Amino acid sequence: MTGPTAPSHAMDQAVALEQVAENLVRGRTVDAWANMVGPFGGTTAATMLQAVIQHPERHGDPLALTLNYAGPVAEGEFEIEVRPARTNRSNQHWWLEMRQGDQVVTTATAITALRRETWSETEAGPPDVPAPEDLTPAGSDRGVRWVENYDMRFVTGGWEWVADGEGSPESTTTMWIRDTPARPLDHVALTAMCDSFFPRSFLRLGRPVPAGTVTLSIHYLATADEIAAQGTDFILGSVHAHRFHGNYHDESARLWGRDGTLLATSNQLMYFKS
C-alpha cells in the first residue's frame, strides 16, 4: 500500500504540512522558493495560513492574517503551533508561532469568518492598464530563485528601473501576475502574491539593497467563491510606499481579478539599508 502522493506544484510543496500533535504541524522549506536570505516571505505567510486552513477546528474562511517575521527562516524543517484563541458565532481568532529548534522565527494572528450576503459596494477600482497579453513577461534574472514561479508582466515601476540603476521618482509598481506553471487561485496562492512585489526601496534607489519584511498584514476582501472564479488567470496588483525613513519603509498593495473584483489588500513594514 502506498502513501499519499507528494504535491507536484511548487506552491503546494511549500505549504505541505504534517500533523505531529494537537495544534502542532511540521513542514519544510522548498529550494524553489529561495530568497536572498531564507525562503520567500510570501510562502512563509502562505504556510502559516495553510496551518489554519487545515486545522480540524477551523470555522469559516480566511478574513485577515498578520505576520511578524521575528528572524530568518533557515533551510530545513520547521514546526508551527496553531490554535484557536476564541471562536464566536461568525468569526474565529487564531494564534500561530513558527519555530526552528528553540528559535521563534515567525509569529502570526489570523481571523477566519463565515461570510453572509449583505449590502455591497467597492470604492477602489483597478487602474486602467493594458491586458497582460499585450505586455512582455518579466525576466527572472533578479538574483533570487522564487520569482521563477511567477509570470509577472509589469505595467509601471518594473524591474528595469532597478537593473538600469536609474531609480524612479515615485514608488508605485503595477503588474499582472499568475503562478507558473498554472495553478487555480485560492487563499494560499493569493497570500503569497500579496508579498510578490520587490521592495519599494529598490525602485526608488535604482539598486537592490539589504531589505526584509518585518510585519505583513493581509485582508481578504473576496469570498472563497470569488477567488476560485479567477481560475488560473492573471491578477492585477499595484503597490506603493508612503514614507522611507530611519531604515524602514511601508508598502501598501491592492490585488484585483481581471474581472475587476478587489480580492485582497496588504500592508507591510520593511527594514532596509541604503
pLDDT tens, residue by residue, 104-115: 999 999 999 999
Share of the chain above pLDDT 70, in %: 99
pLDDT at position 1: 45
pLDDT at position 7: 84
Q: Examine residue 128 and state whether it is found in any structural domain, yes or no.
A: no
Domain span at residue 221 reads 10-114+136-272
Q: Examine residue 27 and state whether it is found in any structural domain, yes or no.
A: yes
Q: Examine residue 66 and state whether it is found in any structural domain, yes or no.
A: yes
**Whether residue 227 has pLDDT greater than 70:** yes
Beta bridge partners of 25: 19, 80
Domain of 77: which CATH number?
Answer: 2.40.160.210
**Whether residue 36 has pLDDT greater than 90:** no
Q: Examine residue 150 and state whether it is found in any structural domain, yes or no.
A: yes
**Mean pLDDT of the residues in the chain:** 95
CA angle 92, 39, 209 (to 5 degrees): 115
Q: Examine residue 268 and state whether it is found in any structural domain, yes or no.
A: yes
**What is the distance between the terminal CA atoms of the chain, rounded to a whole angstrom?**
56
Q: Examine residue 35 and state whether it is found in any structural domain, yes or no.
A: yes
Cell numbers describing residue 173: 509598481
Q: Examine residue 4 and state whether it is found in any structural domain, yes or no.
A: no
- Reported as type and span, the H/E element at residue 11 is helix 10-14
Number of domains in the chain: 1
Kind of pairing between the strands at 103-113 and 61-69? antiparallel
- Nearest Cα residue to 238 out of 266, 272, 269: 266
